[in-house]
Amino acid sequence: MQIFNRMLALVAILGLVTTSLFAAGVEEGQTAVMGQQMSGPVEIEFWTTQTQSDRQATIQVLVDTFEALNPNITIKVVPVDENDMSTQVAAAAASGTLPALAEFGAETAVALGAEGVIDVAGITDFIESYGEDRFYQGALRMVGTGAGDYYAVPYHGWIQGIWYRADWFEEAGLDEPRTWDDILSAAAYFNDPGDNQYGILVGTKAEAYTEQVFTQFARSNGAGLFDRNGNLIFNSPEMKEAIEYYAELAQYTPPGPQTWRARDYYLQGKMAMFFYSTYIMDDLAIEDVAAGSLTSDNFADLSGTAFDPELVNNTRLAPIVTNERDAGYGVIVSMTLFDHGDPAKTEAAKRFLTYLFTPNAYVTYLHMAPGGMNPVVPEMAANARFLNDPKGVYSNYGGEKLEEIISGLGSIESFGIVDGKRIEAASVIFERQIIPQMLYSITQEGADIDAAMAEAEAAMQDVIDSM
């Protein structure tokens, strides 16, 4: 039965992708890659961090379809846990068995690129051939070398921003929460603890969510941890200003150290704004998915409520925070070619990558996680088939709102990549939760900001000294 279902899926996707492949000038059975002709059969490996069984099945269908159209190319899909990817690549490089193509996070791609195992020339050629201007520029910056080349091709990603009650804002005559002033004003306006209603959710617990939210504010004020040469620049006036602002904003978050779980207040109609990634999209749109946030199980002061089918229509996302500059936050997952010294395998991998960017193959891949996998190519956000995901998530948003949400990929940044250079110490600082611990001490324990910053800076210096 499983084989039969896979064959049905293969037939269906063959029908969907053939038109777009032919339109691009690739005829059935032809093995032309990026304008070159291949001779003889080629077998390549494709490593992916999509290890779930259902996603593996979808990827295999795409591979089967590609192989049917390119009979001289065989692809072996190898699932690799994201936490093991760097180790596995190092072992493969040492044994001369690097895969032709792999999918993993942008920061991993930059780190591996710095180690010299990635085919930078091949990747850069692919991006230039496809069209640099076709990508969201923020996504490209996350995989850049800092010298005009690229370590990987961005493929999909998620965006963080402020999800807010557009109907409340409209009724109050308030502007969308984009600038520091507008965000703070709205948080204060809607905050009513006496009625168990709060203005905004930002992270105040010593964990990753807090740093993810704070990063967007820090970057919007031009603050960072390092310069491109790896010099620590944390204790700056710009960073202090961002911390002071964050501490003020945290006054309008539910009491106690809070994390993403407090989204329950929003889904129960008790919060005006909350920071979250696009993974929240199905919770807002689908009753069964939202169920876990509609009870009193997680917060004693929430009594639970019925699903609000209008909440998705009344919600909008402000993906950009602005003060001195625009800043977005998100994660990019990329595809990269390895420098294994086999031109035939490289060309075969480029051919498969070209196929993965054809509209229907791309949509099939993205639909493995609606909301979590968003296209890095703006034109795809308006694709009719993309809007018709199997779970029915996107149909609740519509094309215009979805394009607005995904546009946040144009401005995403992180503390760990500066001008195309990955600062390894930033990753260790993130893992040790130095910034969220500092913010916890300030917002929950009343610590002096200057003293807390000095303590955090000392902890960061210890990380640098130990590397």
CATH classification of the domain holding 417: 3.40.190.10
Domains in the chain: how many in total? 2
Is the domain of 120 the same as that of 167? no
How many C-beta atoms surround the C-beta of residue 451 within 10 A? 12
In 63-213, the DSSP E strands lie at 73-79, 101-105, 153-165
DSSP at 341: S
Is the domain of 130 the same as that of 243? no
Q: How far is CA 156 from the centre of its chain?
A: 7
Is the domain of 401 the same as that of 424? no
* β 153-165/315-318 pair status: antiparallel
Boundary (domain end) residue, out of 363, 380, 406: 406
Which DSSP helix (H) or strand (E) runs through 136?
none
How far apart are the C-alpha atoms of 464 and 369, rounded to whole Å?
37
CA angle 305, 308, 313 (to 5 degrees): 150
Is the domain of 73 the same as that of 190? no
How far apart are the C-alpha atoms of 297 and 301, rounded to whole Å?
10
Is the domain of 139 the same as that of 100? yes
Is the domain of 187 the same as that of 298? yes
Which DSSP helix (H) or strand (E) runs through 273?
strand 273-277
Q: How high is the mean pLDDT in each 10-residue block of the chain (467 residues)?
A: 41 42 34 51 97 97 98 97 91 96 92 91 97 95 90 96 98 98 98 97 96 97 94 97 98 97 98 97 96 96 97 96 96 96 95 97 96 94 92 90 91 86 87 95 98 98 92
* Residue of 294, 314, 291 lying closest to 303 (CA atoms): 294
The pLDDT, as a whole number, for residue 11 is 41
Is the domain of 34 the same as that of 172? no
How far apart are the C-alpha atoms of 244 and 233, rounded to whole Å?
17
How far apart are the C-alpha atoms of 191 and 271, rounded to whole Å?
8
Would you state the structure tokens that stand for residue 33, as one six-digit string?
A: 């890659």
Is the domain of 132 the same as that of 77? yes
The pLDDT, as a whole number, for residue 381 is 86
Is the domain of 317 the same as that of 172? yes
Boundary (domain end) residue, out of 382, 406, 430: 406
Q: To 10 degrees, the CA torsion angle through 436, 439, 444, 450?
A: 150
How far apart are the C-alpha atoms of 365 and 361, rounded to whole Å?
6
Question: Residue 153 to residues 102, 261, 382: CA-CA distances in angstroms?
Answer: 10, 33, 21
Find out whether 415 and 430 touch, Cβ atoms under 8 Å.
yes
Residues in Cβ contact with 180 at an 8 Å cutoff, skipping those fewer than 6 apart: 217, 220, 245, 321, 322, 323
DSSP at 174: P
Is the domain of 345 the same as that of 320? no
Residue showing tokens 């930078």: 120
Boundary (domain end) residue, out of 385, 406, 427: 406
Residues in Cβ contact with 143 at an 8 Å cutoff, skipping those fewer than 6 apart: 106, 109, 110, 150, 151, 152, 153, 154, 332, 334
In 14-152, the DSSP E strands lie at 42-48, 73-79, 101-105
Is the domain of 179 the same as that of 280? yes
Is the domain of 320 the same as that of 172? yes
Would you state the structure tokens that stand for residue 223, as one six-digit string?
A: 């603050």
Structural domain including 382 reads 2-157+332-406
Residues in Cβ contact with 282 at an 8 Å cutoff, skipping those fewer than 6 apart: 289, 370, 371, 391, 393
